[in-house]
Chains A and B, each alone.
Chain A
Amino acid sequence: MKKIVSILTITTLTVGWWGCKKDSDFLDVQPTTFLTTDQVFSDPNLALTVLSDLYNRQEDLTSLDGYLQPYSNNTEPGWRTMADFSESFPSENGSSYIVSRTGWGYDAWRLDWTRAYTYIRELNLFLARDSASTGLSVADRTRFYAEGRFLRAIFYFEMARRMGGVPLITRTLDYDYKGNVTSLQFPRAKESDMYDFIISEAEAIKNDLPSDINEKSRASKGAALAMECRAALYAASIAKYGAGTPSVALPGGEVGIDAAKATGYYNAALTAAKEIISGAAGPYALYNNGGDLSDNFANLFLDKASAETIFMEDFKTGGKTHAFTTNDQPYSFSDEGGDAGRLNPSLNLAEAYEKLDNTYAPFATVDGGGNPIYYTNLQDIFAGRDARLAGTILLPDGTFKGKTVDIWAGYVLADGSIFTSDEAGHHKTLPGTSTPVQVVGTDGPVNGLELRSQSGFYIRKYLDPTTGSGRRGQGSTVAFIRYRFAEVLLNAAEAAFELGDPATAAGYMNQVRARAGLTTPLVAADITFDRIVHERRVELAFEGHILFDMKRWRLAHKVWDGAPTGLADLVSNIGVATKHSTQPWGLWPYKLYNPASPDNGKWLFKETLPALVTGTNRFLFGNYYSLIGNDVIAANPKIIRQPNQ
């Protein structure tokens, strides 16, 4: 009986324990990652975590970590966003579509509408909650508010340059559940309204942001002005050059800007640029740390303290890293087999770098008689050029991490035939010899062999020499620079030129060129539209400008005209803005094997179109403004379609 009593006591206690917690308490499970709005906006560190997410969700077509594809959550790796437009060749089997297609779909480069406006909504919510908060100091609140507006403006800029005018939503829109949504339907803004908004926002917030050149990863006065300067320049050139493509416009101005507005925008661009150049936002300057000019140019992208960087996306071990170096380091440097060599700059781009006397010339592969020119050293052919060539592109025999890249395509025998292998770095026995020797570079080029250079070049810009930066598990922390001082100078040069002041333009351009070793200054008469176009291409290669520049100058349909690029096309008209470039060519070094010849063992070069380049780039009028999807229009009948689609 005693046992029964004790057992029943235990049972009673169990029931009692059950009863002591109400059902509602038991079910009231609290999330471990949850913060109330009040908690967030009474602690500046927590509010900053919200901004942290908003900073992260900026959209870049070109970046190092990647580009989120519209209407999916797939990220295109950063390198692939640079491998287009015939400026580069994609050495990865799965990406050869980039060079086998015959143009771009109308939906190319568009932003995911839902994702975009979700972001806009969260920005608007942030602004509303920040300005309503009582727990934050005025200084914090004001700075956060300005940062939110900066991010919103820069995002609308990104939308505008891809899609033209879009609905400018500057407050949160909420459905009242009353069955009528017309009050939530907004038409597309005019394209000029978009730029006016960006310019006025920049002006409104610039003095609420720190005027500090060390503030590079968050919004600063310099960043606001740089954005304003670029936006105004875009608006101006669309107004001016859009006149040449009258069909790329909509009657309501959602696409296209009245030519009469061009001057005003050029002035706005120049003014903003001058404000930065004058040091009003901090002592920004070109990166010039001495030493080899090419190394200096490459280091500008590695040195996060550079006075040239105005606004960047930063990376850090343990927080956020990217795989650019993993994907693109030369094959023989790779930390793991199979991860290397994907981004191969094209000969089209490489030959655009001028000779030091300010003239354009193709690389000399043959003499006047059509006979090959033999070079003792691999790099001799590249000598005497703009230092940015070797600063941007890793050339054959170029140095990275203290080692040289082994790029050569094989032997040319006495009869002119080629002796090589379809396996990189392969050893074979040359005719008439008995000992196998290496017959092709370990880093390529081998036609069709992915991860090895197929153009004869690798990328150098952004490539991280830090140990381990090419490892999958570690990644690189090189920052992606969104705005830098050199671009501001080129913006100023372009605006001044378009405003009829080539002398001023020459002054700005010469600063940038001098840093690249082009020490013979250009004079006012040298400044032409083609010069402006050329300078931006070589200075800002792979930084995400080429598509948008070609669009705003309405050059895109001329440069990417869909006609194949022949060898004759390739080597002529260098420096001409409308020179077409529809297929990425390579420059392949060969070693002469002819013991009887004095040139035996010397190098010769052949311009080569990689075998996988079967398509051509054709840019249609309908490509100037990316498609707005049926889903968007179905949900808001006030949105009108793009022209020519």
Chain B
Amino acid sequence: MKFYTRHFRHETGTLPPGLIRKGRFLFSCCMLFFFITPAFSQTAKITVTGTVRDSTAKGIPQVTVTENGTKNATFTDGEGRFTLKTGPNAVLLFTSIGFIDTRQAVGDGKDLSIVLSHSNSDLGDVIVVGYGTRKKESITAAIATVTSKDIDRVHGGSTVSTTLAGKLPGVTFRQAEGRPGASASIQIRNMGTPLYVIDGIQQDEGQFNNLAPNDVESITVLKDASAAIYGVRAANGVVVVTTKKGTTGKNTINLDAYKGWQSFFRFPKVVTKTYDYLYYKADAEMNTGGSTSTTQAVLDAAKAGTDPQYRSFDWRKYVLGNNGAPLNSVNVNISGGNDKVNYYVSGTELYQNSVLGKEYNFNRTNIQSNVTAKLSTGLKVGFDINGRVETRKNPGVPGGDDYFLARLAVLRNTPMERPFANDNPQYLNDLGPHLESNYAFLNEKLSGHFRSDWRVIQTNFHIDYDIPGIKGLSVRGLGSYYMADELENNQEYTYKAYTYIDSSKTYKATGGSTNPWRDREQIKQINTDVQLQANYTNTFGHHTVGATVVAERIQNHYTRNWLHASPQSNYLPLITFAIMDQYQDADNTQARIGYIGRVTYSYSNKYFLEASARRDASYLFAPGKQVGYFPGFSAGWKVTEEPWFKALLHDNVNILSDWKLRGSYGILGDDNPNNTPIVPPFAYLQGYNYGTDNNGNLLTPSILDGNTVTASRDRGAAVTNISWLKSRITDLGTDFSFLNGKLTGTFDWFYRKRTGLPGLKNDVVLPLETGYNLSQVNINSDAQYGEEGSLAYNGRIRNVGFTISGNLSFTRNKFLSSYNPLFFNSYDQYRNSSEGRYTNIGWGYICIGQFKSQEQINSYKVDIDGQGNKTLLPGDLIYKDVNGDNKIDDLDQRPIGYGYGTQPNINFGFSIAANYKGFDFHADFSGASGYTWYQNWEQRWAFQNNGNLNAIFTDRWHRQNIYDLNSPWVAGKYPPNRYNISNHSDYTTNSTFWLHNVTMFRARTIEFGYSVPQTVLKRMKVQRVRIYANAYNLFSLDNLHQYGVDPETIDDNGLQFPQNRVINVGLNLSF
């Protein structure tokens, strides 16, 4: 070994330093199995001394130093020094929590210098799994974890989900919305909405998103059979969140504050000059009907710009006027403890404003208090509280989405339209049908008030007691009470809009709204969860066994009322019975019971086995059919612990320090796929629903004899033969660590087969005249499968420590089979079958080009527009006549996209971190591919809905002289514009011209920080001071930039509230 090592050094000693490292790495990997010499033993003991340091060359105290394979061990002192007597060829093992286990041969034993790397993957860490924790090294399941240090840096939104882009292999991410308080859509392996568990309690997505990110200690995703322990709701994986707890030791006060400035990452552009608007409008009208009322004289006047009626107004600038809207957060937390009590108490205030205006904002105050007290030997009680007030405020705006009209204003209002009559801010200008998108009235003064407050408190009380007399046996009781309260008040005012009468110099009220709207919603959600748990764990020689049993009862109670009224005046916010005309009331309860068992076994830290089962009962099903059993198994083999493998490596941990193979299989249930109960609640009951249909939708009452009579409807035949669907997940994975833990990674392959998706048996077809359907049964199946992996490299060049890590995941969903599918003909089968096909297919024409000339159109054989091509002009789209029948119709459509609004099939993340002395740098990137954005409406044709012209359409086919129908055509990207025509063959059907399969790679957080050195801090009597500047969404490389939309947007009109680009400065302070 020595020989070869020396040889190696000799060989590489002449190479430049960069290549050395590279060479060593390659060499290590490739030559692993060829350069082995047998170990030989010696008996004489030598005294070994040395120092253990971290990557900053600081000594590490309390490191365990063990002569490998023996019980001979010692600890390092306060400066990291140690002394140990060993055999001369011994190998020392250095272990310390938070560092990678490191082995080193003693050599001559004199002043060894050992550098321990911080473990990036924290193999020694404790990972939270269902109903317990596990040491990372004994994990046998596909689990990914992200900790506070990775999510605290992300200041791009206000919710927890927005921090997760690219952070976790196997977690897909799409944030289509960026409005204040918006969240991202995240899924585990695209399996559907996951179950969220926060501090042991099953919760919903909203509760997850609105925790203070500062209070989150870790987020663990259970991606495989390990989720089976959560039973009937776990089929889509589980996100387990743990909040921060106090640590024994010093009391620390931390302050984490930042201020950010937001701007729209991207938003469509429009023409902003009246001349341009009129010019393109005239062009479009000429193309539409061969004539236009906009004459050359008008254009000339507009160009001259002297006539006030041709002044230009830039609505985009006006609406997006609050550029740099703040996103601020201040978190103060105090944590600490002693041997009796530890605590973490925290308060966070977050404020997010909108680019669309100062009056559109989101505010959240979070508190968290986690206290645990040790009452006596073996008895601990804890009380964890988290609460928040979440406020959304904006003007009361007509229509469902209060942020929509402002965005629409950018695209719809033309440069000729002005917000105020005669530019007098006292008089809102009547823009006719565009009045509602006159941004000038979308404020609290004119359009009203909207405010929604969620007030949420969750309290968890838990007792842990170690049963005396039986080593390793403990019991735990957990009670949780959660209350969420919403109060929403919305008042939309009546208002007047004016037209300026030039002849009389007066303002005449010509429009506005006489329709007041007042609504109030109150929701109370109360969830209780009681868990009784017993744990046993013990080690007998090489055998470690563990067992957990849990009984859990969950009850969710939801009440809601909503009312609507028409106030007599804008000045009267109170609602009286006389003005109220609608009232809705709901009161729903859900109940679930679970009994959970799990046993674990490990041998010599080498073989790991785990089996769990949950007996779950759901209220959704008929009595007697409510119970199901959900087992899961997993096994792990730590190959590097095998003596023969160590021998193979000759104990050289520098090469392959850790290698584990693992596999898991489990059966999980889902009674609520896609957040919809698989069967309507109480479908097993026969009778009548009072006031609603089976899905809980309100039935319209009828007016009989002048009275409003509530409607009741027959519930239909009782449904008793449907149950939850079953999801079987197989996962094979490996975790590895090379180069003394510098290079770590993990790889997983998985396959989830779901059976029992609801479908109909068609052996018997009931005549429709019977008036009812045979109920659905659990009959169809689908599969979700893919791979994911991650790699991280921890290194140091002189004083610069750095980490590079990346992850990549791929997943797809395929429908497997339905029961005896029937098709009318082979085309029907081709077009409508889902058997064995990928789900989420977008169909459309294949665009093979654009017509170059009228002659080409005239002689073109294929009927593109269904009207003998008489509606076509040069530049119009040519579709592929797939079936060769010389006409384009449905039969020519082919799969061209991944479906509307779906999660990406491919996700990846990449991050670089480096530090030098007090400076640190982080750059996180994330990317995605395998999803589709549809270009439609404002993004597909010009002047949609008599609006302004989207600037992308200025690059279009047009005549050289737009007024001369015989003038030559000039090529452009888009077909010739028509004026607000949507039923042209260019636009009516999706085609490859309008569908874009997106690939994007975007910068997430790029951060520079500086920590004040210890020497200065000592004088200031503080522990830590760090300042930083960070940018979120600085740039993106993708194929949607040319349309002016964010690459993650979903809405096909491109008007969705995009993600923000945020520039932040922040401060971390610890006392």
Contacts and interface: CB of A to CB of B under 8 A. Distances in A.
Question: Could you say which of B532, B555, B771 has the most chain A C-beta atoms within 10 Å of its C-beta?
Answer: B771
Contact of B710 (A8, A40, A49, A423): A49
Contacts of B623: 24, 27-28
A113 interface: yes
A33 B708 contact: no
A113 B773 CA distance: 13
B699 A121 contact: no
A254 B626 CA distance: 49
Interface in B213-246: none
Interface string A80-110: 0000000000000100010010000000000
B44 interface: no
Contact of A320 (B432, B499, B703): B703
A29 B501 contact: no
B687 A36 contact: yes
Contacts of A48: 704, 709
A336 B768 contact: no
A52 B945 contact: no
B1035 interface: no
Interface in B768-795: 768-774
Interface stretch (B72-80, B130-138, B585-593, B954-962): B585-593
Interface of B: 293, 375-376, 379, 381, 398, 430-436, 463, 465, 475, 477, 479, 497, 499, 501-503, 510-517, 530, 532, 551, 553, 555, 564, 566, 580-582, 586-593, 617-619, 623, 626, 681-682, 685-692, 696, 699-706, 708-715, 763-774, 824, 945, 980, 983
A456 to B, nearest CB: 19
Given A28-B623, A118-B771, A338-B435, 17 more contacts: A26-B593, A32-B586, A37-B686, A39-B687, A52-B709, A52-B711, A113-B769, A114-B768, A114-B773, A120-B769, A184-B769, A316-B706, A334-B511, A425-B499, A427-B502, A472-B398, A473-B581
Nearest to B381: A7
Interface of A: 1, 3-4, 7-8, 10-11, 14-15, 18, 23-24, 26-37, 39-40, 46, 48-53, 55-56, 93, 97, 100, 113-114, 117-122, 125-126, 167, 169, 172-175, 179, 181, 184-186, 215, 217-218, 314-321, 332, 334-338, 422-425, 427, 435-437, 442, 450-451, 468, 470-474, 630-632, 634-636
A338 B553 CA distance: 52
Nearest to B712: A49
Nearest to A41: B688
Contact of B769 (A14, A186, A317): A186
A355 B617 CA distance: 77
Contact of B513 (A35, A53, A175, A336): A336
Nearest to A30: B589
Contacts of A179: 763-764
Nearest to A25: B591
Contacts of A173: 767, 769-771
Nearest to A475: B581
Given A29-B589, A52-B711, A179-B764, A14 B705 contact: no
Contacts of B713: 50, 53, 122
Contact of A425 (B376, B510, B566, B587): B510
Contacts of A100: 983
Nearest to B500: A427
B497 A337 contact: yes
A34 B689 contact: yes
Contacts of B764: 175, 179, 181
Q: Most B CB atoms within 10 A — which of A28, A36, A52?
A: A52
Given A14-B530, A53-B702, A468-B514, A635 B766 contact: yes
Contact of A468 (B566, B685, B945): B566
B767 A185 contact: yes
Given A18-B532, A48-B709, A122-B714, A117 B770 contact: yes
B519 to A, nearest CB: 9
Contact of B503 (A120, A435, A450): A435
Contacts of A424: 432
Given A93-B945, A337-B512, A121 B772 contact: yes
28 contacts: A4-B375, A14-B532, A15-B477, A18-B530, A26-B555, A27-B592, A27-B617, A27-B619, A31-B682, A37-B688, A48-B704, A50-B711, A50-B712, A117-B770, A121-B771, A175-B774, A179-B764, A186-B767, A314-B704, A318-B582, A336-B398, A337-B431, A337-B433, A337-B512, A425-B432, A630-B824, A635-B767, A636-B768
B681 to A, nearest CB: 7
A326 B581 CA distance: 17
Contacts of B582: 318
A340 B774 CA distance: 45
Contacts of A18: 530, 532, 551, 553
A55 B704 contact: yes
Contact of A33 (B479, B514, B689): B689
A334 B514 CA distance: 8
A29 B590 contact: yes
B700 A56 contact: yes
B771 A40 contact: no
A23 B479 contact: no
B687 A14 contact: no
B821 to A, nearest CB: 14
A336 B436 contact: yes
Residue in A10, A32, A113, A332 with the greatest tally of chain B CB atoms within 10 Å? A32
B530 to A, nearest CB: 6
Given A53-B702, A121-B772, A175-B764, A3 B433 contact: no
B708 A473 contact: no
Q: Which 7 pairs show the lowest CB-CB distances between chains A and B?
A: A121-B771, A319-B708, A471-B515, A53-B711, A337-B435, A636-B767, A314-B703
Given A175-B770, A337-B433, A450-B433, A26 B553 contact: yes
B503 A427 contact: yes
Nearest to B502: A436
Contacts of B617: 23, 27
Contacts of B590: 29
A423 B501 contact: no
Contacts of B475: 11
B704 to A, nearest CB: 5
B703 A316 contact: yes
Contact of A181 (B564, B765, B773): B765
Interface centre among B477, B582, B712 (most CB of A within 10 A): B712
Contacts of A172: 771
B765 A35 contact: no
B619 A337 contact: no
A30 B980 CA distance: 53
Nearest to A634: B765
A352 B626 CA distance: 68
B687 A35 contact: yes
B513 A320 contact: no
Central interface residue in A8, A93, A337, A636, by most chain B CB within 10 Å: A337
A385 to B, nearest CB: 32
A121 B773 CA distance: 12
Given A14-B530, A34-B688, A474-B581, A27 B702 contact: no
A49 B703 contact: no
Contacts of A1: 376
B766 A217 contact: no
A335 B515 contact: yes
Given A28-B623, A48-B704, A318-B580, A3 B555 contact: no
Given A33-B689, A117-B771, A335-B515, A125 B619 contact: no
Nearest to A437: B503
Nearest to A424: B432
A261 to B, nearest CB: 26
Contacts of A117: 768-771
A318 B580 CA distance: 7
A58 to B, nearest CB: 10
B402 to A, nearest CB: 15
